[in-house]
Amino acid sequence: MGMTLAEKIVARAAGRGHVTPGEIVTCAVDLAMIHDSGGPRRVAPILKRFGVGLWDPGRVVLISDHYVPASDEETRRIGEITRKFAAENPLAGFYDGEGICHVVLPERGHLRPGMFVVGGDSHSPTGGAFGAYMFGVGATEMAGVLATGEIWLTVPETIEIEWSGRLAPGIVAKDIMLFLCAKLGMEGGRTQAVHFRGEAIRSLGMQERMTLANMTAEIGGQTGLVDPDDTTAAFIRRAGAEPGDILRWQSDADAKPTEHHRFDAGTLVPQVAAPHSPANAAAVTEHRSVPIQVAHIGACTGAKIADLRMAAQVLKGRKASVPLLVAPASRRDQEAAARDGTLQILVEAGAKLLPNACGMCAGYGGALDEDVTCISSIARNFKGRMGPSSARIYLGSPYTVAASAVRGRITDPRELLS
């Protein structure tokens, strides 16, 4: 029997001809990505205990994004530890304040199809958008990877999610994922490989595919794969890297995914998730007229250049009626937004620009006020996610957040898109 894309990558990393879901294998890691929160400050003391260094610094990328910019004594210290680690190790890359790790990693050409990649962050499935098996682990496990270059894995089941047809204007990857959070739930606990397929997925640009793969974390997936194609190859070449053998990294025609779900993209409407879970998603019309006090466009899943352009489409010639906070996901994406006029539209609409970092999304850098209702383009709205437990966070696409910012209440963006 043939193998799914996930099985092919895991088999290659495990040095095996064939693997079957459920068996436990040991895989060689092609690349490890760490950030300032779960990275050096937590892994360096463990490596010291082991009495070893990095197994291969040329396969390690370090990105500071959680405690950027430093705001107090503790975060300054974390920044120092991070920079010291980068100075002491000849890493494949160190990016300090350049943006959020999941966006910066592919932007700088570190990902290509078929790679087996471990990231020290739960949104690491983002790398699956490039046809790489990328998944998140905690700090201790990462220390083990950095010391040995290996990790154990239960060969995942593959869940295929097919989206046929085309998304209507104003409906985007974020809507797909919020819909799936409500439809499939978040408690699967199966650590499966989710494989996004179908015409609607093929027609998405890379950053939209990254949003899909990113939020696979919310539906309990270990990674979220998209078939590599010409769109993938073009992105990687623009990032200054070589995409490799794209045709090799496709599911076999006779591969058997464990489950197959099929949805019609043409009938999807904008989705909004109510507090305190992405699984509380429903059509935007269900939440229409909920007053909001803050609108937030940020994070790896919601403030890439593609996301900023969506917001600008709504905000052009309009003003936000509530505070609108925008944290572009990377410095390069912010520069691109400045070049094409996107940034000017956002600022003229009243947007306050925040640093190119995780910021409020992780609740690490800045926080909402007590008791406010916020609509945000981030991935999670768990209680306390953006600081106080009393804050109510609604989730929506950048289109929906921008439209809601204009009206001061949750708004169907299609009403403002002509």
Partner 1 sequence: MNTVQYGRAFVFGDSVNTDALAPGIYMKHPIGTIASHCLESVDPTFATTVRPGDVVVAGKGFGIGSSREQAAEALKHLGVAAVLARSFGGIFYRNALNLGLPVLVCDSVDGIGAGDLVHVDAATGVIDNKTRGTTLSAAPLPAFLLAMIADGGLVPHLEKRFADRRAAARQS
Q: Which residues pair with 271 in a beta bridge?
A: 283
CB of 171 to partner 1, least distance (A): 26
Q: Which residues pair with 27 in a beta bridge?
A: 151
Kindly tell me which of 110 and 380 has the beta carbon lying closer to partner 1.
380
Q: Which residues pair with 163 in a beta bridge?
A: 263
Q: Which residues, including other chains, have CB under 8 Å from residue 343's CB and lie 6 or more apart?
A: 308, 328, 334, 337, 353
Scanning 104-112, 334-342, 383-391, 410-418 for contacts with partner 1 by CB under 8 A, the matching segment is: 383-391
Kindly tell me which of 2 and 45 has the beta carbon lying closer to partner 1.
45
- Cα dist from 96 to 80, 99, 260, whole Å: 11, 8, 41
Q: Does 196 bind partner 1 (CB under 8 A)?
A: no
CB of 184 to partner 1, least distance (A): 12
Q: Which of 2, 15, 23, 52 binds partner 1 (CB under 8 A)?
A: 52
Kindly tell me which of 146 and 322 has the beta carbon lying closer to partner 1.
146
For partner 1, the binding residues in 246-285 under the rule CB under 8 A are 277, 279
Q: How many CB atoms lie within 10 A of CB 112?
A: 25
Q: Does 83 bind partner 1 (CB under 8 A)?
A: no
- 287-325 in b/e form (b: 16+ CB < 10 A) is beebebbbbbbbbbbbbbbbbbbbbbbbbbebebebbbb
Residue 105's region, left for phi above 0, alpha for psi from -120 to 50, else beta, is alpha
59 within 8 A of 92, measured Cβ to Cβ? yes
Q: Does 99 bind partner 1 (CB under 8 A)?
A: no
Q: Which of 209, 385, 392, 407 binds partner 1 (CB under 8 A)?
A: 385
For partner 1, the binding residues in 217-236 under the rule CB under 8 A are 220, 222
Would you give the binding string for partner 1 spanning residues 168-187, x where CB under 8 A is met?
A: ------------------xx
- Beta strands (DSSP E) in 88-168 are 93-96, 116-119, 133-136, 150-154, 158-164
Q: Does 22 bind partner 1 (CB under 8 A)?
A: no
Measured CA to CA, the distance from residue 134 to residue 123 in angstroms comes to: 9
Q: How many residues bind partner 1 (CB under 8 A)?
A: 49
Q: What are phi and psi of 154, to 5 degrees?
A: -85, 120
For partner 1, the binding residues in 279-318 under the rule CB under 8 A are 279
Q: Does 382 bind partner 1 (CB under 8 A)?
A: yes
Tokens of 345: 């539209």
Q: Which residues, including other chains, have CB under 8 Å from residue 197's CB and lie 6 or more apart?
A: 160, 161, 162, 163, 226, 227
Q: Which of 75, 89, 271, 404 binds partner 1 (CB under 8 A)?
A: 75
Measured CA to CA, the distance from residue 190 to residue 203 in angstroms comes to: 29
Kindly tell me which of 192 and 411 has the beta carbon lying closer to partner 1.
192
CB of 172 to partner 1, least distance (A): 23
Scanning 2-10, 143-151, 246-254, 284-292 for contacts with partner 1 by CB under 8 A, the matching segment is: 143-151
- Residues that bind partner 1 in the complex, under the rule CB under 8 A: 24, 37-38, 42, 46, 49-52, 67, 74-75, 78, 120-122, 124, 136-141, 143-144, 147-148, 152, 186-191, 220, 222, 277, 279, 362-364, 367, 380, 382-385, 387, 389
